[in-house]
Amino acid sequence: MPTLDAAAAAALLDDLTAVAARAADAIRNCTGSGAVHRKPDGSPVTAADETAEAVICEALERLAPQLPIISEERAARQTPILPAGKGASYFLVDPLDGTREFIAGRNEYTINIAIMADRAPLLGVICAPALGGIWRGIVGGSADRITGAPNSPPTPIRVRKRPQGETIIMVSRSHLEARTQAYVDGFPQAKLAPSGSAIKFCRVAEGSADLYPRLAPTHDWDVAAGHAIVKAAGGDVAAPDGSPLRYGTPGLLIPGFIATGAVTA
């Protein structure tokens, strides 16, 4: 199976940014149209999810035909087969993360595209169509943000060193369950910032927030792109016990994670 290193992934970054931007246009064109359906797990799916996935997968197949694509809506239709072999690389895609926010008319939904190598995130691109932003990062390299047109000059981003006693914690607007609530209750002086989708990773990466905990299961494609961006910006994403996240498990489920910025100043 093909293997990409950081340099090879970096060579694809601008192309993947353009792919995400085209998917954003497709989603905007679907806004307000089409019925909401339910997948077997009960989660919603719309024409926007399916249209964005088609745009992304078609583009990735042209861009890097040697790389397998694991995508949320495809996985709902057929169990994906992960590439075997040490260092094997593949694309991991969530064409519309935050479908509930999209349906509700909120602007907190994203497009997530990651390149995985040896079942760990190597590159991440997150596009927020309604916010006009694209966040990107390569593990072992750097992270940046593009505001406005996709070909606008990128601005470097970095996690912040949080001031003593001040913590901004990103929490899920739609999925804040008991374990995560108990964790954030351990920061009584913290400011909670509810939001949907992988935009929460971006806020940590750019230094607008310090922590993003989720102590309930979620899928690989919800996490991988944000994981890469936070790592590239100087932070970390790990299991609640501090161990590395394990991608590619049965069901492509991650039991929980905590994304962190820099240590306290």
Backbone angles phi and psi of 8, in degrees to 5: -65, -40
Write the pLDDT tens digit of every residue in 53-66.
999 999 999 999 99
Residue 245 and residue 228 in contact, taking contact as beta carbons nearer than 8 Å: no
What pTM does this model have? Answer: 0.94
Q: Look at residues 83, 2, 1, 9 and name the one whose alpha carbon lies nearest to residue 231.
A: 9
The tokens describing 157, both together, are 């981003």
Instruction: Delimit the domains of the chain by residue range.
Output: 6-157, 168-260
Kindly indicate whether the domain formed by 168-260 is annotated with CATH number 3.40.190.80: yes
Q: Which CATH architecture has domain 6-157?
A: 2-Layer Sandwich (3.30)
Write the pLDDT tens digit of every residue in 120-156.
999 999 999 999 999 999 999 999 999 988 889 999 9
